[in-house]
Amino acid sequence: MSRVKALIHQDLPDQAEIALNDGRSLLRHYVPFVRAGVIQGALWQMQDITTIKEQQSRLEYLTERDPLTGLLNRRGFDRRLKLIERHALGQAGFTLALIDLDDFKRINDTLGHAAGDAVLVEVASRLKNLVRLSDMPARIGGDEFAILMPECRTEQQAVLVGERLLRAMDAPIRVEDAELHIHFSVGLALQRAGDDRQGALFQRADLALYEAKSTGRRQFRLFSPRLQHRHDELHLQREMLRAGLEHGRLLLHYQPVVTLDPEQGRFTARTFEALLRLHDAQGTLRRAEEFETALADPQLGMEVDRHVLGTAMRQMQEWKRQGLPLRLAVNVSPHHVAHPDFVPTVKEQLAAHPDVAPQNLTLEITEHGQLLDLRVVKATIGELRQLGLRIGLDDFGTGNASLSHLQQFDVSVVKIDRSFVRELLNDGVDLSISYGVLRLAQTLGVSAIAEGVETRAQCRALCLLGFRNLQGYVFAHPMPAEQVAAWLEHSAEQLSWMRPLASRHVLDTERAVQALVAHRMLVRKLLSNALERSEVQDLQAPDAAECCDLGRWLTQESRHWGPVPQFRRLMDTHGDFHRQIVVALANADPAADLNLNACSARVHAAFWDWVLHDPELQIDGEARHERLDTTGPR
């Protein structure tokens, strides 16, 4: 009534809404009649606008809500984000979470869109149950969700939110008769006082989401300046790569794969690997590792693949005209292999270079990164094999599912990653892995190449393991195409130190390596307390040093090599190792375990010292026995 009394003396029109206790809404109008500055009377009107208000609310709901899940849509979410930026609640800081369902497309493709919709509804329900009253969840895309959290203001709180979001999907989702295990990738970004507003916040959260997806999925990432730096670096790489394509600054260098032929007593180099190089605007020659991330870009990467394949095939034709029918290996990303344009691109390049025999071209699929849809990659590899091409797995042993790839894909070649070769002489684990992969490849009828061979000692050790295909700086650095013919002409002279390796070896290599691998396995079981009681009793026996695999092999070989100093040192070190075992078994002391591990490393080093530095080991088996019979032991 006080407002009504005030209006009686007001000479201006007025309008206001009145909310009644019964839920209805009225619109009040007041229009005064004024003459000569004096109020002569007034018109009062009360209008029931309850239905209009309900329709307006319904319209706002429809325009700002996702009809499938009932969550906010992108429009409603953006409006609330702008509101909170201006509200005092947002000035203290808040967090934005962007959520992506991992592998959601597979559900739509295999079970249908109705099943996909059911999954989205269940995900929305779990998000609603997870968030606080002040939080605002939304569905902002097909399988993309977002949550605005005004009360999440610190990195510690954001980390807890990320963990809760991942746990929310631990329980499977049941759709009809199927039980689906769905997981999230989450990107989180904090908005602090003074930060840029909406656009930058979404960009930060999106960068964090991209990081979570590209590093394995089913995880969350919190935005940091490091991620921004990586994003900026990626942008620079893409621009540099695109400029290289446009201005013809992409080129290939070639590195030989050396093949040993013990039966013929020689080595050859008939296969080269094409390695991508880029001359940047300053004239610096950059290796592919320096712009590898940019190559994962689907469109840009396919353009580079087309350029590389065309350049490689033209070079193969040129070598053929020079009388050098060389085979060539070209690296491709699994992301590109899964691209629908990849096989047509390969067919196009083969048709444009009819002198190239498909069987002389190997496409090496790197194992770094995720292989996307394995079924698509497998089908693509099948098409490539039908064209006559060979398929190789590069960096074998460092990818996500190396053995699975070897089982599923029709491959001709595997390349042992250089990381195993690098520590071959120092690490028993790398020895075991390299030996195991070689034997596995031989069992499957697949060629194995050891890459990253940088020293003669590594080369000789790999030959002892049984490798016949080797690649690395010790043979040749990657070179321009015009230098290949000259290198081939002088390779026999430059690599003359390899001639003894291309003959039959003195040692029983199979048993020698098996014995050393068994030694390493024994150490691992000892240090992890995984020995059976019978094994402990065997190791405590007085003749344990002679009865283990390495001991039996040493005893057998001592008939020929006993007086050799390096062999004697190996036997002594092996004896010390077994004495240390007795100490370690008798005392549950970490220091004893450390001594045992160090002693095992000395056995490993002594083995290779004997094998790699004894000139007697460079003659073949028949000559060894002949020399021993005529000259006696040294």
> Above 50 in pLDDT, residue 286?
yes
Same domain? For 452 and 491 the reply is yes
Indicate whether 23 belongs to any domain.
Answer: yes
> Above 90 in pLDDT, residue 87?
no
Same domain? For 477 and 335 the reply is yes
* Domain boundary residue, one of 433, 462, 495: 495
Task: Please answer whether residues 488 and 269 qualify as being in contact, where contact means their C-beta atoms are separated by less than 8 angstroms.
Answer: yes
- Summarised one tens digit per residue, pLDDT across range 329-384 is 999 887 788 888 899 999 999 999 999 999 999 999 875 555 456 778 889 999 99
Indicate whether 344 belongs to any domain.
Answer: yes
For residue 426, what pLDDT is reported? 77
Same domain? For 253 and 400 the reply is yes
Q: How confident is the model at residue 225 (pLDDT cuts 50, 70, 90)?
A: confident
For residue 618, what pLDDT is reported? 39
Q: How confident is the model at residue 193 (pLDDT cuts 50, 70, 90)?
A: low
Q: How confident is the model at residue 503 (pLDDT cuts 50, 70, 90)?
A: low
Same domain? For 85 and 196 the reply is yes
Indicate whether 438 belongs to any domain.
Answer: yes
CA angle 348, 354, 358 (to 5 degrees): 80
Indicate whether 232 belongs to any domain.
Answer: no
Which of 410-424, 494-508, 549-563 has the weakest average pLDDT? 494-508
Same domain? For 561 and 615 the reply is yes
CA dihedral sign of residues 57, 60, 65, 66: positive
Maximum pairwise Cα distance, the chain:
141
Which of 4-18, 183-197, 473-487 has the weakest average pLDDT? 4-18
Same domain? For 480 and 339 the reply is yes
Per-residue pLDDT, averaged over 2-11, amounts to: 61
Same domain? For 517 and 548 the reply is yes
For residue 338, what pLDDT is reported? 82
> Looking at the 3D structure of the chain, how many domains does it have?
4
Q: What is the CATH number of the domain that holds 45?
A: 2.10.70
Q: Whose CA is closest to 410, among 444, 450, 449?
A: 444
- Summarised one tens digit per residue, pLDDT across range 123-153 is 999 999 999 988 999 999 989 999 999 989 8
Indicate whether 273 belongs to any domain.
Answer: yes
* Domain boundary residue, one of 495, 524, 546: 495
Instruction: Report the distance separating Cα 396 and Cα 379, nearest Å.
Output: 20
In 82-209, at which residue ranges do the beta strands (DSSP E only) sit?
A: 94-101, 136-139, 144-149, 173-175, 178-180, 184-191
Q: How confident is the model at residue 4 (pLDDT cuts 50, 70, 90)?
A: low
The tokens for 512 are: 């020698």
Strand 266-279 relative to strand 250-261: parallel, antiparallel, unpaired?
antiparallel
Q: What is the CATH number of the domain that holds 401?
A: 3.20.20.450
Indicate whether 287 belongs to any domain.
Answer: no
For residue 81, what pLDDT is reported? 86
Indicate whether 43 belongs to any domain.
Answer: yes
Q: What is the CATH number of the domain that holds 159?
A: 3.30.70.270
For residue 10, what pLDDT is reported? 66
536 or 29: which leads in pLDDT = 536
193-196 contacts, C-beta under 8 A, 24 or more apart: 193/91, 193/92, 193/93
- Which of the 8 DSSP states describes residue 216? T
For residue 617, what pLDDT is reported? 43
Same domain? For 517 and 461 the reply is no
- Summarised one tens digit per residue, pLDDT across range 560-607 is 888 888 899 999 999 999 998 988 888 777 777 788 888 998 998 898
Same domain? For 330 and 478 the reply is yes
- Summarised one tens digit per residue, pLDDT across range 529-567 is 888 888 888 888 999 999 999 999 899 888 888 888 889
**Domain range holding 539?**
509-631
For residue 343, what pLDDT is reported? 94
For residue 334, what pLDDT is reported? 77
Same domain? For 12 and 130 the reply is no
Amino acid, res. 220: F
Cβ neighbour number for residue 213 with a 10 Å cutoff? 18
Indicate whether 291 belongs to any domain.
Answer: no
Same domain? For 76 and 136 the reply is yes
Same domain? For 217 and 350 the reply is no
Q: Which residue has the tokens 């209008």?
A: 47
- Summarised one tens digit per residue, pLDDT across range 201-212 is 888 899 899 889
> Above 70 in pLDDT, residue 8?
no
Which of 88-92, 308-312, 391-395, 536-540 has the weakest average pLDDT? 88-92
Instruction: Report the distance separating Cα 583 and Cα 598, nearest Å.
Output: 14
